[in-house]
Amino acid sequence: MGNLKIRVYNLIRDDDENGLAANILDGFIISLVVLNIISIMIDTSALPTFLREFFFITEMISVIVFTLEYVLRLWTCTYINPNEKPLKVRIRYMFSFMATVDLLSILPFYLPFLIPSTLVIFRSLRLMRILRLFKLNRYIDSLKIIALVFKRKKHQLVSCLFILAILILVSSVLIYDVERSAQPDKFKDVASGMWVIITTITTVGYGDVYPVTVPGRVLCAITLILGAASLAIPSGIISAGFVEISNETNKSNKGKNACDKKICPHCGKQIFRNIE
Amino acid sequence: MGNLKIRVYNLIRDDDENGLAANILDGFIISLVVLNIISIMIDTSALPTFLREFFFITEMISVIVFTLEYVLRLWTCTYINPNEKPLKVRIRYMFSFMATVDLLSILPFYLPFLIPSTLVIFRSLRLMRILRLFKLNRYIDSLKIIALVFKRKKHQLVSCLFILAILILVSSVLIYDVERSAQPDKFKDVASGMWVIITTITTVGYGDVYPVTVPGRVLCAITLILGAASLAIPSGIISAGFVEISNETNKSNKGKNACDKKICPHCGKQIFRNIE
Amino acid sequence: MGNLKIRVYNLIRDDDENGLAANILDGFIISLVVLNIISIMIDTSALPTFLREFFFITEMISVIVFTLEYVLRLWTCTYINPNEKPLKVRIRYMFSFMATVDLLSILPFYLPFLIPSTLVIFRSLRLMRILRLFKLNRYIDSLKIIALVFKRKKHQLVSCLFILAILILVSSVLIYDVERSAQPDKFKDVASGMWVIITTITTVGYGDVYPVTVPGRVLCAITLILGAASLAIPSGIISAGFVEISNETNKSNKGKNACDKKICPHCGKQIFRNIE
Amino acid sequence: MGNLKIRVYNLIRDDDENGLAANILDGFIISLVVLNIISIMIDTSALPTFLREFFFITEMISVIVFTLEYVLRLWTCTYINPNEKPLKVRIRYMFSFMATVDLLSILPFYLPFLIPSTLVIFRSLRLMRILRLFKLNRYIDSLKIIALVFKRKKHQLVSCLFILAILILVSSVLIYDVERSAQPDKFKDVASGMWVIITTITTVGYGDVYPVTVPGRVLCAITLILGAASLAIPSGIISAGFVEISNETNKSNKGKNACDKKICPHCGKQIFRNIE
């Protein structure tokens, strides 16, 4: 029994990279996730019956597999901390981030049996399954680096958001005052002006509303230039964050291994040189 | 009296981080600012009466609180320089950046009592209150870093603006000459061409005006590619500025504390190693 | 015969930079490639007969030249490995990347003689000829650097794609739920919502579909801000990658030559200083 | 006479920063340039007569001043190389970049007197006057840095252009094949498809043409993601270029002066520390 638990644990734990069976299981679950996403995307479209049935069966299999996986994880999670009380470990595991994702991805299927009305938000919850893709070990490190950059530069990025917010707010009020008389139906309130400014500053420009007066156009042009600058700041901050981490990683690498990675300036390939 | 002044000063001074009372006051003022901004955004919309009344009361409370705060700041600002003449310190404080912001954010309320006509610009002045969010200590440092990058790279960024301006001006004249005959109503003058070029180069593309002739489209395509390059330059300059400052900060950090921050290349977490 | 083979080999091999004849041949082939691309671009347009004939003749010459070149390359490729079996070398060469490109660029011309129906995809294959431009030696190094950056940052970039995918999927489902009732003809299914979100998040904003309800606009605005952040991450990652390689190249350069490249901070020009 | 020549030379030479008279002259010429640009922008608009006259007079003054300046520069340019033949120096000066700009900016005024027909291109030539703004010394250094970045990264940036070109060409042919049957009037030829792809890939999205079929939308979405990546590459290259130069400048600065610039990690201000 304990032996079976270990084998199941090794099969389903997130950071498994070495076993063939685990890799096959990984591939199977990734396929299910992708099929699920496609299913969500098109389940509102007019589809031929056989496709509908195919996606319905996929959904059934997904729910069964994911439920089974969730139960097995809950069962085997006691393996890491054998000295603690199983119930305590299991409850702690249930409230971990990844277990919550797993639960949220199967819950929308079971809820209609428990609660009569099916809320629209349930469809979004099924999308949670995509988060499983992040469980693949190779991407967890990269995500940690990205998260670290954002954590470090948090205050600078929030400051940029503040600058952007002020720019949007001031421009919205001004564009409303300037364009109101020319387009009373499109600039009903400051909130409408804000919609124009947001679609302008992010350079979307749907074309549903746009300035027609000369001062409105001048204002939009100035907002655009200032907005482009405001959006270049976070880009620069994030770049600096990645450069910082890459420098730090290189430095700590140097101390560790005696092999100094270098790039040949001619061919761009790495030169491996052993420092004796 | 002097004791009360010190306590009031500690309660309202900008860089306060330690007191619970000051934190509560901070939270209260931030809530007022956010409510004020929402109020400005929607005071032109058709709203139910109770919401109107809610925002009117918020406005009243804001003005009272901000006026009181301004008066108290003016009263307590003598605390830092007790040796100077109080009047001199107060006048100097009144013309400081933050005091001007504070004054501008309450002035629009009082002005109608003094001057009969209410100008449209007053609404924008009320937006000044958002600047108070920057007073929070943690963002002041970040804003200083951003400002430093812009200050250092000022000349390079202005050069980019010049390049962009030349590109816009030349393209505007050319697109006007090229498209004028095909769309005489939309390309009435060079200024109209400039509007097209600005919305093109910043990739907004509202869709109100666009080139229809082949030479016009070729011109726009070339302008777009050149414009994308021109906008990548300031982005690169700002990135380099942030990298510079991050390098300098790291260097000056190294001399100071004996704890060398490093990033584990595997998990992306910091390794704290004491250099004995 | 062997002598002729060497001369032909030197004339047509990809990394030739020294011979005048090879340079002229390079220029001739580049001209043919550019003419071919123009030909593909406009062969569906209504053209005067003499232009049609000109491009038809260009096409003929191109096919003849490129076929001849391919045959000659296949003949001379045995020159580098004279000790191996010619057939083996030739078959290996045929399946190399550049030989495949060469073959694909002439195949669409011959296929209609072999297979009756001409598929639409053949036109795209003719575009393969543009890849020949990359064979120019000076760009191969640059492409290798770019490829190296992408290879190194592969996992981080894929993580960004995952984040972007999740953002797009969740937003698509939400916008569909929010806008469905207001615009039932434009938001027929989640896939339609996805089209809106993709054109919004990449800031294209064609203007064919856009949110009209207040929650839809708020959702789009939030998606835009998050999307701009998501797109700034890969930009930062790629920047860091190029900075890394540039640092490494500088370091390995320093050891090699005793001439230390420096930039005068005043004029921006390089200072060449010999370290004796 | 020689004395007058020196004084005139010092007054009008480009890199003058110390003299008050030269600064006033600089300001006067900049004002003329700005007025000229405004004049070009609006000379096609319907204007009140007094404004037309104002700009006509400005134009007259500009031409007189710029002609006088050109003649004086030609006269005084012999001052730097007094040992060479004056005529030789003057002819060499006439073909220098800045003298050509100066000549091109006044030529359009005189040409109608020489050649009867006034070509449309003349208006663009008048825009050349904006290049004079770059003559201001403080921006010349920045422009040199920007130019140096582009020069160094030339091959990498051209490679990016190649990648972008291939992406545009292949997508254009595919979108034409895919959308032709659904929108025969908008997708008449591959060139039309190219216009759609260019406005899509640069995220302009005017909204005059957009894909309506499902394969067309999928193709556009893929092109957008690939295009965003392609545009992030040059941005990263340029960033790395600026970081490189900033590193090199810092290094060569360190050797020069004993004052080590550092940034306080707390307040973001520079710490000036003398290394004794």
**Interface B-C: count of C-beta contacts within 8 A:** 10
How far is D175 from chain C, CA to nearest CA, in Å? 11
Task: Inform me whether the pLDDT recorded for C276 exceeds 60.
Answer: no
pLDDT of res. B217:
92
| Cβ pairs bridging B and D (under 8 Å) | 150
Residue D233 pLDDT: 92
Task: Point out which residues pair with C234 in neighbouring strands.
Answer: none
By the 8 A CB rule, do B125 and B107 touch? yes
State the nearest Cα–Cα gap between A46 and chain D, in angstroms: 14
| Better pLDDT: C206 or B80 | C206
Q: Is the pLDDT of residue C219 over 90?
A: yes
| Rounded mean pLDDT, D167-175 | 88
**Mind telling me how many Å the CA of B17 is from chain D's nearest CA?**
15
Q: Quick one: D73 and D49 in the same domain?
A: yes
Q: Which residues of A touch D210 (CB under 8 A)?
A: none
Which of these three, B112, B139, B166, is where a domain ends? B139
Residues C206 and C254 in one domain: yes
Are the CB atoms for D215 and D177 separated by under 8 Å?
Answer: no
Query: Mean pLDDT lowest for which of A67-76, B224-233, C253-262, D100-109?
Result: C253-262
Chain D adjacent subunits, 3+ CB pairs under 8 A: A, B, C
> Given pLDDT bands bounded at 50, 70 and 90, which one contains residue B117?
low
Looking at chain C from residue 138 to 167, which residues have their Cβ under 8 Å from any Cβ of chain A?
141, 144-145, 147-148, 155-156, 158-160, 162-163, 165-166
D203 part of a folded domain: yes
Could you give the CA distance from residue A160 to residue A155 in angstroms, rounded to a whole number? 9
Which of B203, B207, B239 has its CB closest to that of C239?
B239
Interface contact C184, partner B, CB < 8 A: no
Q: Are residues A81 and A166 in the same domain?
A: no
Q: What is the pLDDT of residue B140?
A: 75
Give the best-scoring range by mean pLDDT among C94-108, D110-124, D155-169. D155-169
Q: Which residues of B4-34 are buried (b: 16+ CB within 10 A; e: fewer)?
A: eeeeebebbeeebeeeeeeeebbeebeebbe
Instruction: Answer whether residue C109 is part of any domain.
Output: yes
In this structure, what CATH number is given to the domain that contains residue A101? 1.20.120.350
Under the banding of pLDDT at 50, 70 and 90, the label for residue C200 is very high
Please list every residue in chain A whose beta carbon sits closer than 8 Å to the beta carbon of residue B263. 148, 245, 248-249, 252
Q: Rounded to the nearest 5°, which phi and psi values hold at B244?
A: -50, -55
Please give the average per-residue pLDDT across C8-25, as a whole number.
67
Domains held by chain B: number: 2
Tell if the CB–CB gap between D210 and C208 is shorter than 8 Å. yes
If you measure CA to CA, which chain C residue comes closest to B208? C207
Higher pLDDT among residues B5 and A147, named by residue: A147
Question: Dihedral (C-alpha) C21, C25, C31, C33: value to the nearest 10 degrees?
Answer: -160
pLDDT for the residue numbered D195 = 92
Instruction: Provide the pLDDT confidence category of residue D255 given band limits of 50, 70 and 90.
Output: very low
CA A158-A159-A163 angle, 5° bins: 115
**pLDDT value for B49:** 81
Closest by CA to B210, choosing from D199, D109, C131, D115, is D199
Taking the CA atoms of residue C205, residue C208, residue C213 and residue C217 in that order, the dihedral angle to the nearest 10 degrees is 0
Is the ipTM, as predicted for this complex, more than 0.95? no
Contact B263, B270 (CB under 8 A): yes
Tell me what pLDDT residue A276 has. 32
The residue among B217, B239, B246, B266 with the most chain C CBs within 10 A of its CB, best to mutate, is B239
* CA dist., res. D142 & res. A182, Å (int): 43
Range in B167-181, D71-85, D209-223 with the lowest mean pLDDT: D71-85
Question: With an 8 Å Cβ cutoff, are C190 and A43 in contact?
Answer: yes
pLDDT of residue A121: 58
C7 and C121 share one domain: yes
For the stretch C127-139, pLDDT in tens is 777 776 666 656 7
Phi and psi of A262, rounded to 5°? Answer: -135, 155
In the prediction, which pLDDT does B218 show? 92
> For strand D270-274 and strand D259-263, is the pairing parallel, antiparallel, or unpaired?
antiparallel
On whether residue B149 sits in a domain, the answer given is: no
Provide mean pLDDT across the span C25-34: 79
Please indicate, yes or no, whether residues B91 and B52 belong to a single structural domain of this protein: yes
**Residue B150: pLDDT over 90:** yes
Of all residues in chain B, the one with the smallest CA distance to A199 is B204
Radius of gyration over every alpha carbon of chain A, rounded to an integer in angstroms: 27
- Stretch among B61-70, B261-270, D94-103, D164-173 having the lowest mean pLDDT: B261-270
Which residue out of A173, A213, A235 would a mutagenesis test of the B interface target, given it has the greatest number of B Cβ atoms within 10 Å? A173
Using 50 as the pLDDT threshold, list the residues of chain A that sit under it: 16, 255-276
Whole-angstrom distance, CA of residue D111 vs CA of residue D128: 16
| pLDDT computed for residue A113 by the predictor | 67
A195-204, B133-142, C197-206, D199-208: range with lowest mean pLDDT: B133-142
**Whether pLDDT at C117 is above 60:** no
Does the pLDDT of residue D263 top 60, yes or no?
A: no
CB spacing of D159 vs C142 below 8 angstroms: yes
Same domain, B25 and B104: yes
Say if B226 is an interface residue toward chain D (CB within 8 Å).
no
Residue B107 and residue B195 in one domain: no
B208 neighbourhood in chain A, CB within 8 Å: 207, 210, 212
Half-sphere exposure of C185 (CA within 13 A, CB side): 1
Residues A22 and A68 in one domain: yes
Q: Is A137 on the interface with B (CB under 8 A)?
A: no
Q: Where is pLDDT greater, at C27 or D268?
A: C27
Q: Does B173 touch chain D (CB under 8 A)?
A: yes
Please check whether residues D71 and D96 belong to one and the same domain: yes
Q: Which CATH number does the domain housing residue A220 bear?
A: 1.10.287.70
Looking at residue A112, what is its pLDDT? Answer: 65
Residue B66 has pLDDT above 90, yes or no: no
User: By CA distance, what is A197's nearest residue in B?
Assistant: B204
Looking at the complex, report in whole angstroms how far the Cα of residue C228 sits from the nearest Cα belonging to chain A.
Answer: 8
| Averaged confidence pLDDT in chain B | 78
Note whether A243 contacts C245, CB cutoff 8 Å.
no
Residue B274 lies in a domain: no
C124 within some domain: yes
Provide the β-strand partners of residue B263: B270
Query: Which residues are CB-neighbours of C87 under 8 A, at least 6 positions away?
Result: none
Point out which residues pair with C262 in neighbouring strands: C271
Rg of the Cα trace of chain B?
27
On whether any CB of chain D is under 8 Å from the CB of B257, the answer is no
Which of chain D's residues have a Cβ under 8 Å away from the Cβ of B210? 206, 208
Select from A246, A251, A254, A270 the residue whose CB has the most chain C CBs within 10 Å, as the one to mutate to test that interface.
A246
pLDDT (tens digit per residue) in C130-179: 776 666 656 777 888 999 999 999 888 988 888 888 889 889 988 988 89
Q: Is residue D265, in this structure, part of any structural domain at all?
A: no
Which of C207, C236, C243 is the closest to B207 by Cβ? C207
Question: Which among C92, C79, C87 has a CA at the least distance from the CA of C11?
Answer: C79
In this prediction, residue B211 has a pLDDT band, given cuts at 50, 70 and 90, of very high
Higher pLDDT, B41 or C240: C240
Which candidate from B159, B207, B232 shows the least CB-CB separation from D142?
Answer: B159
Last residue of a domain, one of B139, B167, B195: B139
The H or E element spanning position D261 is strand D259-263
Least confident of A138-142, D169-173, D268-272: D268-272
Report how far apart, in Å, the C-alpha atoms of D172 and of each of A65, D77, D176, D178, D201 are: 43, 53, 6, 10, 11
Q: Do C203 and A207 touch (CB under 8 A)?
A: no
Lowest mean pLDDT among A51-65, C107-121, D42-56, D226-240: C107-121
**In terms of pLDDT, which residue wins out, B25 or A134?**
B25
Nearest residue of D to residue A236 by CA position? D239
Mutating which of A130, A171, A263, A267 best tests the C interface, going by the most C Cβ atoms within 10 A?
A: A263
Residue-number span of the structural domain to which B47 is assigned: 2-139
Q: How many CB atoms lie within 10 A of CB A124?
A: 19
What would the two tokens of residue A254 be? 């140097």
At D276, is the pLDDT very low, low, confident or very high (cuts 50, 70, 90)?
very low
Q: Are residues B74 and B166 located together in one domain of the fold? A: no
Residue C114's pLDDT band, with cuts at 50, 70 and 90, is: low
Mean pLDDT, chain C, whole residue set: 78
Name the CA dihedral angle for A36, A41, A45, A50, rounded to a multiple of 10 degrees.
Answer: -20
Q: What is the mean pLDDT of residues C51-65?
A: 85
Which of D137, D152, D190, D254 to mutate: most C Cβ within 10 Å? D190
Give the separation between CA C132 and CA C114, rounded to whole angstroms: 26
Residues D62 and D68: their CA atoms lie apart, in Å, by: 10
What pLDDT score was predicted for residue D237? 93
Determine the pLDDT at residue B216: 92
Residue D264 lies in a domain: no
Residue B15: predicted pLDDT:
55
Average pLDDT of span B199-222: 91
Reply yes or no on whether the pLDDT at D238 is more than 90. Answer: yes
Q: Is A265 on the interface with C (CB under 8 A)?
A: yes
Asked if D114 and D158 sit in the same domain, the reply is no
> Do the domain assignments include residue D32?
yes
With residue A40 as reference, give the H or E element that holds it. helix A20-42
The fraction of chain C above a pLDDT of 70, given in percent, is 78
Residue D76 and residue D129 in one domain: yes
Which pLDDT score is estimated for C256?
46
